[in-house]
Structure 1
């Protein structure tokens, strides 16, 4: 198994957060999870200012993007200014050469300038969504989602959503178990669906409101049971209609669709990390029968469960369980 070549495209003034997110996900050696891990390269001018405090010496110039399997374009220093022409040309050339191209936050302005978003649905930080749509009217800008996966072109919203998209790429390349293991090490949610809302208009809950976090945890511990919307509403002490409204505000979807997605994610992990039969996994995920699991799994992921298992178990061992909490004298936990 050869490693996926990931190139991070940087230019003067690149913000700290999105650059760090990509470096931490793809640039830290995690060959204990998958061997080999990503072959990670930073491409840009000889010296690049990061924010207003640091300078970075890239591994090679922007022409190195054309040799990558995946190109990551972090946020722009100033989205109001047209991105550098050499960056735009290099990103376009990489895509033309077959690379998968993903933008983080306002990096979408670079992809749009390169023509990669024409006719596509895309997102960016909600604050800049209107500007992206006005400057590039051929782009179908969706300001209300965390990220958009359109095959070889992917875009994310701002800040934390950049991490969501990076973990989504790991999930596509190496499966849910590995992506979840990386998320645990980074102490971030293992999976937030791309359609989840950016929280732009959601007010801080009043004290009498109930957080859905506790409900999510409760439901995830009971995926093997035939949960209904009424069960969730009763647990959250809400009416079914009120629960649906809260769910849409937080996740961008309905309670039943959220449950179905979580059942598929659990099935993915069990297929990757156990030898359980499809029938057993169907029972453990609340799907009931292998036929039902196969139907929903194929509809969601485009492949049957058995093919998914072969893909993510033939080339690597299963991801290890998370380590026990360290003692006071234990070494620093893995990154």
Structure 2
């Protein structure tokens, strides 16, 4: 049985505990207890979350875990000396030491991330970089893996990390089945951006929002200003003016960003050729997609795919 220790402390963020459900559903999928999950703290007993209610824990003491997961918090709380010592020992006693969200600050404080790559919540990335300049921070990543150290970005990215752990232990089919039962996207790739193009475009009115949602669902279509204006129930001139006023960019630029995001997801899956990805995401031909990737990432899709394969 694989033992999972989830390390809590006063003020921890509750959403990280959702990772335990991933392991629970993996057990359901196997119809046997493959994972055992314990909630730990330095002294045991009830530990208050950031919301004020408490979760019962056992003291971390001398027991060892196959996988240790350090949760995050909202305020970058300081780790106690006892917690740092326990994390340092875990590098010798655990197969994997992982963190969710700002839990990477605790791993870094314990010296575990020195010279290694890691990620954290994008909001705290600048603070992390200043505090731990020798860590190779990849702030625009869902999660990272560097040997036995796994770190995830903010909040829901911990679910992607947990699904990746399940996939590593039990294979892609079990992880996919767990994701389906949890009604989440089957594990976002670790290299995927923490940001959503649709969220970053940030339309304010329902009309522009509706047009963008339509565009994301119909990337293979022409998606001209006239077509989007019709979806928004506006004239093309009104739609263009409103779109630029709300988003600060043209409809064509926003559609390109949506297509780039979709193409990058398909690229990370590794299951489709460049030609098919270009066609499926509405670029039409690989050269047009290549130029868009160069504008967005400074590298063509072929080079990004090679980098992902090397990372894998």
* TM-score, structure 2 as length reference: 0.69
CA distance in 2, matches of 1:232, 1:188: 22
How far 1:159 sits from its partner (Å)?
1.5
Equivalent positions of 1:92-241 (< 5 A) are 92-199=88-195, 202-204=200-202, 207=211, 210-211=215-216, 227-229=273-275, 231-238=276-283, 240=286
1:249 is displaced (CA, Å) by 10
Contact residue 105 and residue 128 of structure 2 kept, 8 A: yes
Give how far 1:35 is off: 3.1
User: Structure 1: how far apart are the matches of 2:306 and 2:294?
Assistant: 15
Q: What is the CA–CA distance in structure 1 between the aligned matches of 2:23 and 2:177, rounded to whole Å?
A: 13
Q: CA deviation at 1:13?
A: 1.1
Contact kept, 8 Å, 1:210 with 1:236, in 2: the verdict is no
For residue 39 of structure 2, what is the aligned residue in structure 1? 42
Residues 262-273 of structure 1: pairs in structure 2 closer than 5 A: none
Pairing 1:12-91 to 2, within 5 Å after superposition: 12-19=10-17, 21-27=18-24, 30-33=27-30, 35-44=32-41, 45-58=44-57, 60-63=58-61, 66-79=63-76, 81-91=77-87
Aligned equivalents of 1:139, 1:57: Cα separation in 2: 33
- Contact in 2 for aligned 1:10/1:42 (Cα 8 Å): yes
Q: Number of residue pairs matched?
A: 256
Greater share of helix: 2
Deviation at 1:259, TM superposition (A): 8.2
What's the TM-score once normalised by structure 1's chain length?
0.65
Q: CA deviation at 1:96?
A: 2.1
After superposition, the CA RMSD in angstroms is: 3.7
Query: Which consecutive unaligned segments of at least 5 residues does structure 2 have?
Result: 221-261
Unaligned runs of 5+ in 1: 263-295, 302-335
Q: Deviations over 1:115-165 (max 9, x none)?
A: 110000111001101111111122111111111111200111101211111
Q: Distance in 2 between matches of 1:210 and 1:250?
A: 19
1:83 is displaced (CA, Å) by 1.9
- Report which of the two structures shows the higher radius of gyration computed on alpha carbons: 2
Choose 156-165 or 103-112, whichever is displaced more.
Answer: 156-165
Deviation at 1:212, TM superposition (A): 7.2
Determine if contact 1:12/1:77 at 8 Å carries over to the other structure: no
| Contact 2:26/2:175 (<8 A) preserved | no
CA distance 1:178–1:135, change in 2 (3 Å)? same
